[in-house]
Amino acid sequence: MKTNQILETGRNCWRIARADKAAFLIDGAAYFEALSEALPKAKQQILILAWDLHSRLRLVPARDHDDEILPLGDLLNQIVKNQRELDAYVLDWDFSLLIALSREWLPIYKLDWRTHRRLRFRMDDHAPLGSSHHQKVVVIDDAIAFAGGLDLTRGRWDTPEHRPDDPRRGAVDGTPLPIRPYHDVQMAVSGPAAAALGDLARQRWQRATGEKLSTPRVENDPWPSRLQSDLEMIDVAIARTEPPYGDQKGIREVEQLYVDVIAAAEDYIYFENQYFTSATVVEALLNSLADSDGPEIIINLPVKTQGWLAEKSLDIMRVNLIKKLRAHDRYNRLTLYYPYKPGLGDLPINLHAKIMIADDRFARVGSSNLNNRSMGLDTECDLAIEAGQDQPEVGEAIRHFRNRLLGEHLDVAPEKVDEAVAHRGSLGAAIEALRGDGRTLNLLEPTLPPASENAVEAAPIVDPERPIDVELLLDEFVPAEETRFAGKRVFVWVVVIGLLAGAAAAWRFTPLGEWLDIEALVGMASHWKESAFAPLFILTAFVVGGLLMVPVTVLIIAAVLIFGPLVGFLYALAGTVSGAVAGYGVGASLGRDMIRPVAGRRLNKVSRQLGRRGLLTTMVVRIVPVAPFTVVNLVAGASHISFRDFLVGSFLGVIPGILGIALLTDRVKASVQTPGWDTLTTLALVGAGVITAGYFLSRVLMDRVGKAGEGDPDQAD
């Protein structure tokens, strides 16, 4: 590599700060274990930036129903409670409702409203249309920080072995197997480098919320005892991508750093990345290939991208760019691979890492993909280290990191990689010598997907480099009438929200809440059973209770206990649908902006597309318990789901649940009144039947939605 220093503050990085310790954490198991030990050591401040986050994720796989391994949301809540001076701030990308079914519903409810007041969760929508917040950073007391490609969410935990059907991959979050093996890398740093990442996170928080956070002033060393550092007292550079937004200028340090390293490399460049569609990176590689003395270029990619839309756009872009590179590879220095392991079948290793290593002198770990979005549209955060001429120990650590990565993919010890490189004289020749028939790196020969003509036209939307024209998309997604008369509705919004908030507070903090249990409801309503006003009473109870967020299950059980299984079922069905319609009407009256704390501001821009699957989506959220009944109604009313789709979807979707509750309630009542083998056996059979039917029905519907939504933006992580 050319002797001039590559890293330059203000050009290709934001800051260069000293790390007392630094470590490369290969694959999710290593990262999650280190984080699980570091988090409880926090004294004053925890900062988390995420593209996705799941409150039910366990950082360590559960073993034999070990209740001591808390899910992430409960873990953070407990840590904050135990440390009186500790504040935790979690900032998650304010994702589109188009991918809501693949995300945890109502994270703000689970990680903010239901948790300690010093654990604050916010959704960050401070980005232009089409952009996502893609940084994955955790900072503890400005003393240790983690950054890289791993989010604290489902499907990320795995070991370097990537064993087929490893039950621990599902144990961390309860996801049923099979789960695709997952390869990614995170970097841990301590000291001033961690403090610099703390500054980055606090700036993000302030832009998103308007709240300025204080800088921790505690002396703390939360570095995990089991985490061995790869480097000490090393300068670490932080490179960012930030799109232009409002008065904020765009930042393209990530892009510039890729270009500068490619231009400086002499011996080899090794990439691991999820995508390969960046025009800027390809242009830099073309310039390198044109140099007769240029480096070997080794690119390790997934065998293909995931999702229908990605295959029809990003895969086509990838194939075309690879063909272009190969056409200019006159000196045969370009090789592309994908990781392969026997026994994985249709679930190959998901190579999700974002790694760049060059000449044993430069290493980079981060969130940025080799795609256009990461160069200018999405927020990104990469960490980089560079070995100076008088720092042989840094070059040795970078080489060992490279050997660990390749040793994992080639199923050999890192020392074998080092020996092969020394013996063969080049990294490419060493890889070829070590490739085998079992787990290995296979040559990547990407092919165009079937019926790909004109499909690449979607690429500028799927992988844009700059913010999408807001006005054009608003014309497409938001009807003109939605932008009118907003001022006239403000007073109505304030009054309605005030009434709902007051009623909910009364239910929560006054004796009114004691009236709303099953026994009280049955007692109050028994004398209405034979009354001509019974239907009106039931409908009113469901409508008012639904708006007050009374659990609809309680109302259904009360109806069945009062009127019996058949009439109670009919009343509960009518009441539930009436309550849903009332909630839909309130949501429609409030509008998108007022529902934003529940669903995100992007609801305004994309719900028209969601409306194309409104019937199926409504059925799913009624059958699968992904969100509270009232919230679903409000969100649906504020979206572009048509009233017809909502009404029909709600009617069809609630029938199985109400029927199951009615049957179970009737059998429980019978077992209590006349206990015996016959009633208990019937109860057990009905319970098993209801659970089995509900499970299979939910799986069928989720599969249908998953197929309909393949290629959603969720795949762009």
Write the pLDDT tens digit of every residue in 340-374: 999 988 789 999 999 999 999 999 999 999 999 99
Q: What pLDDT, in 10s, does the model give residues 203-241?
A: 999 999 999 999 999 889 999 999 999 999 999 999 999
Integer angstrom CA distances of residue 364 from 377, 381, 398, 407: 20, 11, 10, 18
Q: Is residue 154's pLDDT more than 90?
A: no
Structural domain contains residue 148: yes
- Rounded Cα distance, 290 and 263, in Å: 11
Mean pLDDT for the stretch of residues 430-441: 96
CATH number, position 102: 3.30.870.10
Q: In the structure encoding, which two tokens stand for residue 409, read together? A: 């993919």
For residues 387 and 548, the model is more confident at 387
The boundaries of the domain holding residue 396 are 237-462
State the DSSP code for 713.
G
The set of residues, in sequence order, having a beta carbon less than 8 Å from that of 626 and lying 6+ positions away, is 101, 105, 620
* Beta carbons of 591 and 486 less than 8 angstroms apart: yes
**Residue 387 vs residue 604, higher pLDDT:** 387
CB contact at 8 A, 620 and 101: yes
Domain limit, last residue, from 235, 261, 287: 235
Strands 231-242 and 251-252: antiparallel
Using CA atoms, how far residue 658 sits from 41, 557, 565, 575, 666, in Å, is 47, 9, 10, 11, 12
Q: Does the structure show a pLDDT above 60 at 492?
A: no
Query: What's the rounded Cα separation, in Å, for the pair 304 and 710?
Result: 14
CA angle in degrees (0–180, nearest 5) for 11-187-70: 135
The answer to whether the CB of 56 falls within 8 A of the CB of 75 is: no
Chain mean pLDDT for the chain: 80
Rounded to whole angstroms, the Cα distance separating 301 from 500 reads 52
**Is the model's pTM score more than 0.85?**
no
Question: Mind listing the pLDDT tens digit for each residue in 302-336?
Answer: 998 765 556 666 788 899 999 999 999 999 999 99
Q: What percent of the chain has pLDDT over 70?
A: 69
Residue 109 is assigned to a structural domain of this protein: yes
pLDDT of res. 520: 52
Contact 464, 371 (CB under 8 A): no
**Cβ-contact 622, 636 below 8 angstroms:** no
Are 569 and 706 in the same domain? yes
| Higher-scoring residue by pLDDT: 572, 193 | 193
Distances (CA, A) of 663 to 95, 317, 424, 688: 38, 55, 73, 11
CA–CA distance, 75 with 71 (Å, rounded to integer): 6
How confident is residue 25, by pLDDT bands cut at 50, 70 and 90? very high
Question: Of the spans 338-347, 443-452, 507-516, which averages the highest pLDDT?
Answer: 338-347
Do 266 and 209 belong together in one domain? no
Instruction: Name the phi and psi angles at 12, rounded to 5.
Output: -120, 10
Question: Within this chain, do residues 354 and 245 fall inside the same structural domain, yes or no?
Answer: yes
- Average pLDDT, stretch 19-39? 98
Q: 46: which 2 tokens?
A: 């925890």
| Same domain membership, residue 155 and residue 106 | yes
Within a domain: 130? yes
At 48-99, the pLDDT tens digits run 999 999 998 999 986 655 557 899 999 999 999 999 999 999 999 986 544 5
* Eight-state DSSP code of residue 397: H
Residue 142 has a CB neighbour count (10 Å cut-off) of 26
* Per-residue pLDDT at 508: 44
Q: Do 276 and 208 have their domain in common?
A: no
**570 in Cβ contact with 59 (< 8 Å):** no
19: its two tokens: 């790390």
Tell me: do 496 and 448 sit in the same domain: no
Question: Same structural domain for residues 220 and 354?
Answer: no
Please check whether residue 468 lies inside any domain of the structure: no
> Is there a domain that residue 13 lies in?
no
409 membership: H or E segment, kind and range: helix 392-410
Q: Are residues 115 and 142 in the same domain?
A: yes
Q: What's the Cα-to-Cα distance from 343 to each of 104, 155, 180, 301, 438, rounded to whole Å?
A: 30, 19, 12, 19, 10
pLDDT in tens, 448-477: 665 554 444 445 556 776 665 544 433 433
55, 71 contact by CB (below 8 A): yes
Evaluate if residue 683 carries a pLDDT over 80.
no
Of the pLDDT bands very low, low, confident and very high (cuts 50, 70, 90), residue 46 is very high
Instruction: For residues 430 and 524, state if they share a domain.
Output: no
Domain-embedded: residue 679: yes
3-class DSSP state of 687: helix
DSSP class per residue in 110-137: IIIITS-TTEEEEEE--S-TT--B---E
Final residue of a domain: which of 235, 256, 290?
Answer: 235
Banded pLDDT at 659 (limits 50, 70, 90): confident
In this model, does residue 691 exceed pLDDT 70?
A: no
pLDDT at 193 > cutoff 70: yes
Question: How many angstroms separate the CA atoms of 132 and 467, rounded?
Answer: 10
Of 166, 200, 235, the domain-final residue: 235
Residue from 658, 542, 559, 638 nearest 593 by CA: 638
Q: Pairing relation of β-strands 87-93 and 45-50? A: parallel
Q: Does 709 reside within a domain? A: yes
Do 216 and 189 sit in the same domain of this protein? yes
Q: Does 222 lie in the same domain as 269? A: no
Q: What is the pLDDT of residues 606-619, one digit of tens each?
A: 344 334 455 666 66
| Same domain? 207 vs 248 | no
For residue 14, being part of any structural domain is answered with no
Instruction: Give the number of domains in the chain.
Output: 3
Which residue, among 417, 452, 437, has the nearest Cα to 309 in the 3D structure?
A: 452
Give the torsion through C-alpha atoms of 456, 461, 464, 467, to 10 deg.
160
Per-residue pLDDT, 631: 67
